[in-house]
Every structure is written in structure tokens, then in C-alpha cells.
């Protein structure tokens, strides 16, 4: 099996799992997986598709600049530049972007702080952090309509081979060394977002949550 086919299958599996979670509303979301390092190429979702559907036109191979690396009628994701920034600056192997109601609410609630901070949750261990009472923080950036501008701002928050950024009233972009790690981190962030939104509502209702 060629490396492209192997990576295609791996990304298709992650895409199906995120689809099963109903995280691809209204064609939103984009995913990618690195295929080669030198030269850098990665498979990225084709733009504008319903990512819940599985077809043989789901992904296309692009280069370090996010341009198609081979002849195709498909258009790479509108947000391919963000993926390219991550692969160009880190050893990440996979990038996942989803829009959920909870990640949008958290991005709006904490936008003025420039980040959202979470602590006191066992699931934080999914980030490989084992200290008691550890806190995790996710930066929140403005949602520029101009993608090169968004990618430049986003690049300021790419600090390692695994990470995540919330784009205000838009969605989350998560990356990891492997597809497994990226998906694990995405699920952990979405757990924390959902927990916090529910917690705030329960607090508001006067229920005894911390
Ligand atoms: C209705 S989705 C809005 C898009 O602009 C974008 O944010 C998105 O996540 C999907 O775009 P795509 O070009 O299909 O990757
Ligand atoms: Zn998006």
C-alpha cells in the first residue's frame, strides 16, 4: 500500500469518527494529515464538501504552500493555509478543525481574556499533563475573513508539535504528532468546553456546582 493510500485511510477514519460525533455542521470543518516531510506534502479535505459523507474525492494532496501537488479538479480547504503554517513550523502529523456550538460559545465568553483556562478535570491528563490541579489554556484569536491574515495571526500561537487555537465565533483548530493525538486532544478540548458551558448554566440556575 502506498504512503498516500495509507495516510488517506487514516484520515478517512478520523473524519468518520468526527462525523459520528456530529461535528461537521453545514459543510464546516477541515482535516489534514502529513504524507511526506521532504518535500512537505499533506492530504487536506476538499473545500465545501459535506464532511459527513465518505467519497473518493474527500482529500487532495497539497504542497508546503497549500497548493495542489498533483493534477486535480478539487479545491483545497479554504483554511489550508492554517494547516500549512502548522506543518511548516512543527513536527505535527495531523490537523483537525471543527465548528461546534460549545467551542463557539467558549470563544465568545472568554474572548476578552484572549484565552480560556480550565482546571480541576481528570480529562486534562489526555494532554499528557499529570500534575494534580493542573490548568490548561487555549488561546482565542479574532476571526479574520482574509485567510492569509488569519493564518499570520494564527501562526503566533503555534508553539509545539501538539497544540490548539480557538478562532472566535468560528471553531477550534487542533494539531498533534499523530492523528490519534490530534483527535484525543480535540475530544478533550470539546469535553472541557461542554463541561464549562453546562457548569455556567447550572451555576446560573443556583445549583451547587463548583
Ligand atoms: C460553512 S463552513 C465555513 C468555512 O468558511 C470554513 O470555516 C470551514 O470550516 C470549511 O471550509 P472548507 O473550505 O470546506 O474547508
Ligand atoms: Zn472553519
How far apart are the CA of 69 and the centre of ligand 2, in A? 23
ipTM above 0.95, yes or no: yes
Residue with cell 488561546: 139
Ligand 1 atom at minimal distance to the Cα of residue 98: 9
Closest ligand, as measured to the CA of 28: 1
210 residues of the chain, pLDDT tens digit each: 899 999 999 999 999 999 999 999 999 999 999 999 999 999 999 999 999 999 999 999 999 999 999 999 999 999 999 999 999 999 999 999 999 999 999 999 999 999 999 999 999 999 999 999 999 999 999 999 999 999 999 999 999 999 999 999 999 999 999 999 999 999 999 999 999 999 999 999 999 987
Closest ligand, as measured to the CA of 32: 1
Sheet containing 40-45: give its strands across.
59-63, 40-45, 30-37, 94-98, 171-176, 163-167, 135-141, 115-119
- The sign one gets for the Cα dihedral 40, 187, 144, 44 is positive
Closest ligand, as measured to the CA of 66: 1
- Ligand 1 surroundings by CB, under 6 angstroms: 26-30, 45, 47-48, 77-79, 97
Ligand 1 atom at minimal distance to the Cα of residue 30: 15
- pLDDT, residue 210, reads 79
Atom 2 of ligand 1: nearest residue by CA position: 28
Residue 206: DSSP 8-state: T
Ligand 1 pocket: which of 25, 58, 76, 77 to mutate (most atoms within 8 A of CB): 77
CATH superfamily of 3-204: Class II aldolase/adducin N-terminal domain (3.40.225.10)
Residue 178: DSSP 8-state: S
Ligand 1 atom at minimal distance to the Cα of residue 29: 9
Ligand 1 atom at minimal distance to the Cα of residue 45: 15
The string of DSSP codes covering 21-71 is: TT-BGGG--EEEEEEEETTEEEEEEBTT--TTS--TTSEEEEETTS-BSS-
Q: Is 170 annotated as a binding residue?
A: no
Please indicate, yes or no, whether the overall pTM of this predicted structure exceeds 0.95.
yes
Domain boundaries, the chain: 3-204
Atom 7 of ligand 1: nearest residue by CA position: 28
Amino acid at each position: 500500500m502506498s504512503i498516500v493510500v495509507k495516510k488517506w485511510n487514516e484520515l478517512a477514519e478520523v473524519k468518520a469518527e468526527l462525523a459520528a460525533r456530529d461535528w461537521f455542521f453545514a459543510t464546516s470543518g477541515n482535516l489534514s494529515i502529513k504524507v511526506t516531510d521532504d518535500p512537505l506534502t499533506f492530504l487536506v479535505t476538499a473545500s465545501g464538501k459535506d464532511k459527513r459523507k465518505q467519497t473518493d474525492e474527500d482529500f487532495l494532496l497539497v504542497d508546503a504552500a497549500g497548493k495542489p501537488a498533483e493534477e486535480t479538479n478539487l479545491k483545497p480547504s479554504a483554511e489550508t493555509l492554517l494547516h500549512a503554517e502548522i506543518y511548516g513550523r512543527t513536527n505535527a502529523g495531523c490537523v483537525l478543525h471543527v465548528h461546534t456550538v460549545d467551542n463557539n460559545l467558549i470563544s465568545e465568553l472568554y474572548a476578552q481574556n484572549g484565552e480560556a483556562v480550565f482546571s480541576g478535570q481528570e480529562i486534562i491528563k489526555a494532554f499528557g499533563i499529570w500534575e494534580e490541579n493542573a490548568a490548561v489554556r487555549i488561546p482565542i484569536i479574532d476571526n479574520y475573513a482574509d485567510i492569509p491574515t488569519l493564518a499570520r495571526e494564527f501562526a503566533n500561537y503555534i508553539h509545539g508539535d501538539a497544540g490548539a487555537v480557538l478562532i472566535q465565533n468560528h471553531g477550534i483548530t487542533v494539531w498533534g504528532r499523530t492523528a490519534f493525538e490530534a483527535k484525543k486532544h480535540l475530544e478533550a478540548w470539546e469535553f472541557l468546553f461542554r463541561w464549562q458551558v453546562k457548569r455556567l448554566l447550572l451555576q446560573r440556575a443556583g445549583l451547587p456546582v463548583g
